[in-house]
Amino acid sequence: RTATVVSKSYTTLAEISRESFERVCYRYQSLQKHLQKRIRKLYDDKWKRFIKRSVKNIDYLSCNISDQIIDEISYMFEIVSLEKGAFLFKKGTPCKEIYIVSNGELDIYITNNNKKP
C-alpha cells in the first residue's frame, strides 16, 4: 500500500479478496485487460511515477521495453523500510531482488579475506 485509509465516520463498504478478484480476472481475460488499461490511464501516484522513471533509467531493464511492461514492473515493486544499522543483504546471499533507493543512504562494504565490517 502507498497510503493509509482511516474512516472519518461510520462507514459501510464492500470488500472482495485479492484471490477472488484474481479468479474473476483469470476467468474473464477481457475484464482484466480493460481494468489494467483504465488503471494505467487514470492512476497517478508519486511513488509509482518515481519507480517508472527509475526503471526507465536502468539500462538492462529499459531497452526496447514498452510502457505497458514498465507499468507492470512498477506495480511489482514493494516499499521496504530499513532501520539504521539494518542489513539490506549480506555478502554471499543469492541475488533475488532489484532495489531502487528513493531516500536515505546505504553503505556498501566489500570485504577481503572474509573480514567482517
| Residue 43: predicted pLDDT | 74
Q: How many domains is the chain built from?
A: 1
Is the per-residue pLDDT at 57 higher than 80?
yes
18 located within any domain: no
Tell me if 12 is assigned to some domain.
no
Question: Cell 577481503 sits at which residue?
Answer: 112
Which tens digits make up the pLDDT trace of 85-115?
998 988 888 888 888 898 898 888 887 766 6
Instruction: Indicate whether 37 belongs to any domain.
Output: no
* Residue 35 within any structural domain of the chain: no
- What is the C-alpha separation between 32 and 24, in angstroms, rounded? 9
Measured in whole angstroms, the distance separating CA 96 from the mean position of its chain's CA atoms is 14
CA distance 41 to 68: 11
Q: How far apart are the first and last CA of the chain?
A: 34
Q: What does 15-34 look like in DSSP terms, one character per residue?
A: ---HHHHHHHHHH-HHHHHH
The answer as to whether 26 is a domain residue is no
